[in-house]
Amino acid sequence: MKVHEWIQPIADFSKGASLDADVVLAGVPLSRSSISASGASEFPEAFRRSWKSFATYNLDEEVDLAGLKVLDAGDVPMHVTDIAKCHEHIREAAYALHRQFAKSIVCAIGGDHSITAMMVKGMHRASPEKRIGILQFDTHFDLRSMEDNGPSNGTPMRNLIESGVVKGSDMYNLGLHGFFNTKDLKEYADEQGVNYRTLRQVRKKGVAETVDQCLEELAAKVDVIYMTVDMDVLDIAYAPGVPASTPGGMTTEELLGGVLTAGKHPMVKAMDIVCLDPMRDTQAQPTVKTGTHVFLTFLTGVRMR
């Protein structure tokens, strides 16, 4: 079975039919809020087109994803020019998905990284009593001040901290490296108690081992974990279709290993994939395919639970 034959659009179900699912996904096609030129809004469509290239069977883990029920809720509607309205729509959609699919894992396909703060806020509104932790794969802190450019792809973690939705001490960022973060952002991270590991530190311990340790620490203090995968965590050689691509990043194998480990953990109940621009990709669409591979690898971990 191919992925496009397996994932079912919610629109295909008759009114009143049961919509129980292991996983529900939604496209979030917003990139106007990116501080760098980005066509990440095109990724949800390219993501779905790529499904024909993937089977549901993962040979490496000997796991068939066809045993999971996955529903596609379509795309969150976006306003043509009003970014604040787009963010409102994302928060409302996340709230609705977490309310209607309370037992499902919610996956958002971005879109730039500003969507993460909105997805988490919607999740928090649906279950305000639950303490949320963040596992972040990223080259950047994403702790820029919102006074500069408003809620952008450089601000989601600061947005969550300053809005009181997630504590800095409940954020774990893996993959920081090189010359792509300013010193003041590191100082803010330290002030807020953000937990971060540079890529050099991650490699010394091992990606899977580091993710395991972070999840163990999170599980001891939060009720639910949200994983966000910024595709710019990958080295530019592996992800040419990323607006803020950099040298010295993760390999594809390292990212997939980390995502698989996170997928296995029962407290990871939501995730997103962001900052992937199909228009920057080469003709063979290696970055788009990698993004889809990340999603399916996460689901492999979910299946292995």
**Structural domain total, the chain:** 1
140 is in an annotated binding site: yes
What is the distance, to the nearest Å, from the Cα of residue 36 to the centroid of all Cα atoms in its chain? 19
pLDDT of residue 13: 62
Task: Output 141-145 pairs: Cβ under 8 A, ≥24 positions apart.
Answer: 141/173, 141/176, 141/181, 141/185, 141/186, 141/188, 141/189, 141/194, 141/196, 142/113, 142/230, 143/185, 143/188, 143/189, 143/192, 143/194, 144/35, 144/185
Question: Would you place residue 14 in the very low, low, confident or very high pLDDT band (cuts 50, 70, 90)?
Answer: low
212 is in an annotated binding site: no
Contacts of 225 (CB under 8 A, 6+ apart): 132, 133, 134, 135, 215, 218, 219, 262, 265, 267, 268, 269
4 is in an annotated binding site: no
Tokens of 79: 């306003």
Tokens of 291: 């993004």
Question: Would you place residue 15 in the very low, low, confident or very high pLDDT band (cuts 50, 70, 90)?
Answer: low
Tokens of 47: 């993501």
Please give the Cα distance from 199 to 175 (Å, whole number).
4
Please give the Cα distance from 152 to 172 (Å, whole number).
20
184 is in an annotated binding site: no
Q: Kindly report the CATH number assigned to the domain that includes residue 150.
A: 3.40.800.10
Nearest to 304 by CA among 274, 263, 270: 263
Question: Would you place residue 146 in the very low, low, confident or very high pLDDT band (cuts 50, 70, 90)?
Answer: confident
Q: Peptide bond preceding 241: is omega within 30 degrees of 0, i.e. cis?
A: no
Domain boundaries, position 272: 3-304
293 is in an annotated binding site: no
pLDDT of residue 151: 76
Question: Would you place residue 18 in the very low, low, confident or very high pLDDT band (cuts 50, 70, 90)?
Answer: low
Indicate the DSSP class of residue 25.
E
277-305 confidence digits (pLDDT tens): 999 999 999 999 999 999 999 999 999 99
Please give the Cα distance from 75 to 90 (Å, whole number).
10
pLDDT: which is higher, 33 or 241: 241
83-133 confidence digits (pLDDT tens): 999 999 999 999 999 999 999 999 999 999 999 999 999 999 999 999 999
72 is in an annotated binding site: no
Tokens of 295: 């999603």
Q: Are strands 57-58 and 63-64 parallel, antiparallel or unpaired?
A: antiparallel
